[in-house]
Amino acid sequence: MAVAALFFTNGALFANLLPRFPQIKADLGLGNTAYGLVVVAFPVGAVAAGLAAGAVVRRLGSARAAVLGTLLTATGILGAGLANSVGFLVAVLFLAGALDALVDVAQNAHGLRVQRRYGRSIINSFHALWSGGAVVGGSMAAAAMALGLGRGHHLAISGVVFAGAACFAWWFCLPGIDNEAESERESDGGTEQVRRGPDARIAFVLVALVVIAVAGTVVEDAGNSWATLYLSDSLHAPAALAAQGYVALVAAQFVGRILGDRLVGRFGQRSVARAGGLITAVGMGLALAAPTVPGTILGFAAAGFGVATLVPAAMHEADELPGLKPGSGLTVVSWLMRLGFLLSPPLVGMAADAAGLRVGLLVVPLAGVLVLLFAGVLSNRHN
């Protein structure tokens, strides 16, 4: 329950800011390309800090690092909401992204500790709670906008609530060291695999897992950065209704992750991922082909459901790869998957300025196609 709370608060904090982006964009007078370059500061911060996160977790412990990172992330998000200049907005988004990378690594490390003791897969459920937190956060933002609550007051309230929840959860996290898995694998002969090193096939599988994870993050970023903007500017939906595109994506993602462990157990990860890629490509493809407000919200929901298990699957498969030092595969995928958040906003923004945001959002069905092509590297074991 404590780890679930950490995932939930991490999802909720940033989701309170996302529906506010169109207002911030308008207040600062940003075009689509400039907006895409500004919001990319968050994933740039995450990529810059990603490899250092492991060292911080080892020094502080995963639970303490997750909670401390949550407190500082809340402060950075409040700063982004209050930003009155492009430079300050870029700086606080960079800081919030760096801290979010720390929280992401720490909470996943602690979640995997709990999963090993629990005795069966529950990682999809932890990620489902992240999506659930994002739904709550996005809904809070929509309600705050409907009530006319200012960004500063709204984000201060959400920061206090969710940072406080993370602090409370800290008291119930696992004590002790975080390198149990490495110690156990070395005692079982894992060091022999480390000395051998990965072969070309393992390297290819790792690259494919990164592609799958990036496909998931590209779809998430479409909801994060562009869903509200597309619905409000291109389809002329009211602000509170436009926020429902993002909420629909993360709500469907939450449902997909709640069902994910059971579906994977029955059909295998490969089959589930391929079905998800097809749902993403067809659902969002149809929404873009015949754009309406209800159809677009449903399209984002289909995309969220389709990619629900991709990031947990890629992380789990990478952590199980032979020939790698324990934790190396997970670290590589966790770090490189943020390229989706890094590259997607400016590319979509440039496409939007050149041909319209509807064309830029074609990255979503394209991500579904990539999953169909690369899902063969995933395990298809099932119960």
pLDDT digits (tens, 9 = 90+) for 294-311: 999 999 999 999 999 999
**Can you tell me whether residue 337 is helix, strand or coil?**
coil
Q: How distant, in Å, are the alpha carbons of 52, 59, 173, 222 from that of 66?
A: 14, 12, 11, 26
pLDDT (0 to 100) of residue 370: 95
Q: What is the pLDDT of residue 163?
A: 94
Q: 365, 367, 302: which is closest to 294 by C-alpha? A: 302
The pLDDT score that the predictor gives to residue 179 is: 61
Distance, in Å, from the CA atom of 256 to the CA atom of 250, rounded to the nearest integer, reads 10
Reading phi first (left if > 0) and then psi (alpha if -120 to 50, else beta), residue 381 is in beta
More confident residue, 136 or 334: 136
**Residue length, the chain?**
383
pLDDT above 50: residue 118 = yes
Q: How far apart are the first and last CA of the chain?
A: 26
Classify the C-alpha dihedral 298-108-325-47 as positive or negative: positive
Q: Reply yes or no on whether the pLDDT at 192 is more than 60.
A: no
pLDDT band for position 383 (50/70/90)?
A: very low
Residue written as tokens 């689509």? 32
d(CA 232, CA 234): 6
pLDDT at 382 over 60: no
The answer to whether residue 255 scores a pLDDT higher than 50 is yes
With a cut of 60, say whether residue 185 has pLDDT above it: no
What's the predicted TM-score (pTM) here? 0.74
Q: Which range is least confidently modeled, 130-139, 185-194, 370-379?
A: 185-194
Residue 190's pLDDT band, with cuts at 50, 70 and 90, is: very low
- Per-residue pLDDT at 198: 54
How much is the pLDDT for 178?
A: 67
Contact 378, 287 (CB under 8 A): no
DSSP readout, 1-66? Answer: -HHHHHHHHHHHHHHHHGGGHHHHHHHHT--HHHHHHHHTHHHHHHHHHHHHHHHHHHHH-HHHHH
Task: Compute the average pLDDT of residues 16-44.
Answer: 86
pLDDT, residue 57, reads 82
Q: Quick check: 184 pLDDT over 60?
A: no
Q: What SS3 state is found at 115?
A: helix
8 Å CB contact between 378 and 212: yes
Do 137 and 11 meet the contact criterion of CB atoms below 8 Å apart? yes
* pLDDT given at position 224: 78
Q: Which amino acid is at 284?
A: M
If one compares 50 and 135, the residue with the highest pLDDT of the two is 135
State CA 68 to chain mean position distance: 19
Q: What is the pLDDT of residue 138?
A: 86
The type of residue at 211 is V
Q: Which residue has the higher pLDDT, 159 or 183?
A: 159
pLDDT band at 342 (very low <50, low <70, confident <90, very high): confident
379 Rama sector, left if φ>0, alpha if ψ -120 to 50, beta otherwise: beta
Confidence at residue 191, expressed as pLDDT on a 0 to 100 scale: 42
> Of the ranges 229-238, 305-314, 319-328, 333-342, which one carries the lowest mean pLDDT score?
319-328
Q: What would the mean pLDDT of 199-214 be, rounded to a whole number?
A: 89
Rg (CA), the chain: 20
Residue 112 has pLDDT above 90, yes or no: no
- Neighbouring CB atoms inside 10 A of 104's CB total 22
Task: Extract the tokens encoding 334.
Answer: 């966790």
Quote the pLDDT of residue 231: 92
Q: How does residue 271 score in pLDDT terms, banded at 50, 70 and 90?
A: very high
Q: Which domains does the chain have, with CATH numbers?
A: 1-174 (1.20.1250.20), 197-383 (1.20.1250.20)
Q: According to the model, what pLDDT value does residue 332 have? A: 79
Output the average pLDDT for the chain: 86
Among candidate residues 300, 257, 288, 19, the one with its CA nearest the CA of residue 137? 19
156-182 confidence digits (pLDDT tens)? 999 999 999 999 999 999 887 666 544
pLDDT at 277 (0 to 100): 96
How wide is the angle at C-alpha 264 spanned by C-alphas 263 and 267, nearest 5°?
80
Q: Rounded to the nearest 5°, which phi and psi values hold at 307? A: -95, 10
Mean pLDDT to the nearest integer, 69-87: 92
Do 218 and 337 form a contact (C-beta atoms < 8 A)?
no
**What mean pLDDT is predicted for residues 354-366?**
92
Per-residue pLDDT tens over the stretch 232-253: 988 988 877 888 898 899 889 8
228: pLDDT strictly greater than 60: yes
Which two three-digit tokens encode residue 195?
Answer: 């000395």
What is the mean pLDDT of the segment spanning 88-101? 91
Distance in angstroms (rounded) separating the CA atoms of residues 348 and 350:
6
